[in-house]
């Protein structure tokens, strides 16, 4: 897909069909995450690829609003090591590093015809327990990865209505030229 097509067609997908995601595609999206920029190139991220149905079910239970995750074929869990990044102006850059890498992954998935959905609504303590993530590592976000269903279930439709997800502010509301 050409770049603008990827950017314009990416959207949060909450309904997936029961189809295996090819390993080549999983490897491709991880490779795109790997190439992301990071604080002094420290690459503080770690990704857990969860395919095990029981673990996916357990992860879906860590958030009331994201129970729909129980039906997805793959979950990618994006983690970061705060000690392997920087801190400036009150900004913890490990969050930025991991987020950039995960967005690379999300856009790469779109390019390969796969759906994703950035998930911030999870219980970090429970996710860490389930996945046996070391104490010093933080979980930044999760995303499902899979083929989108044509027919949307209630929860997917509801999320789109609540978040008005097809709407974006116009450029004039966010752009300042030369000064604020």
Ligand X SMILES: Cc1cc2nc3c(=O)[nH]c(=O)nc-3n(C[C@H](O)[C@H](O)[C@H](O)COP(=O)(O)O)c2cc1C
Cβ neighbours for 34, distance < 8 A, ≥ 6 positions apart? 43, 101
Q: Of these, 72, 75, 119, 139, which contacts ligand X (CB under 6 A)?
A: 119
The residue range among 37-45, 47-55, 111-119, 124-132 that interacts with ligand X, by the rule CB under 6 A, is 111-119
For position 159 contacting ligand X by CB under 6 A, the verdict is yes
Q: What distances in angstroms separate CA 47 from CA 23, 37, 75, 175, 177, one per listed residue?
A: 15, 16, 10, 34, 38
For position 102 contacting ligand X by CB under 6 A, the verdict is no
Asked if 1 contacts 120 with a C-beta cutoff of 8 angstroms, the reply is: no
> Would you say 3 or 180 has its CB closer to ligand X?
3
Distance in Å, CB of 119 to ligand X, minimum: 4
> Would you say 14 or 128 has its CB closer to ligand X?
14
How many CB atoms sit inside 10 A of residue 75's CB? Answer: 23
Cβ neighbours for 147, distance < 8 A, ≥ 6 positions apart? 16, 17, 19, 21, 73, 113, 114, 115
The residue range among 11-19, 26-34, 36-44, 146-154 that interacts with ligand X, by the rule CB under 6 A, is 11-19
Q: What string marks each residue from 25 to 64 as x (binds ligand X by CB under 6 A) or -?
A: ----------------------------------------
Distance in Å, CB of 23 to ligand X, minimum: 26
Strand order in 74-80's β-sheet?
45-50, 74-80, 138-145
For ligand X (CB under 6 A), the number of binding residues is 13
For position 112 contacting ligand X by CB under 6 A, the verdict is no
């Amino acid at each position: 897909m050409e770049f603008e097509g990827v950017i314009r067609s990416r959207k949060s997908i909450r309904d997936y069909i029961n189809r295996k995601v090819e390993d080549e595609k999983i490897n491709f999206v991880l490779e795109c995450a790997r190439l992301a920029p990071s604080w002094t190139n420290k690459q503080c991220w770690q990704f857990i690829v969860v395919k095990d149905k029981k673990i996916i079910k357990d992860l879906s239970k860590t958030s009331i609003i994201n129970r729909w995750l129980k039906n997805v074929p793959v979950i990618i869990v994006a983690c970061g090591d705060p000690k392997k990044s920087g801190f400036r102006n009150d900004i913890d850059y490990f969050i930025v590093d991991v987020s950039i890498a995960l967005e690379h992954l999300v856009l790469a998935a779109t390019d390969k015809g796969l759906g994703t959905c950035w998930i911030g609504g999870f219980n970090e303590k429970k996710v860490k327990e389930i996945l046996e993530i070391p104490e010093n590592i933080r979980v930044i976000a999760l995303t499902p990865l899979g083929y989108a269903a044509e027919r949307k279930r209630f929860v997917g439709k509801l999320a789109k209505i609540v978040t008005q997800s097809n709407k974006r502010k116009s450029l004039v509301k966010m752009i300042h030229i030369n000064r604020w």
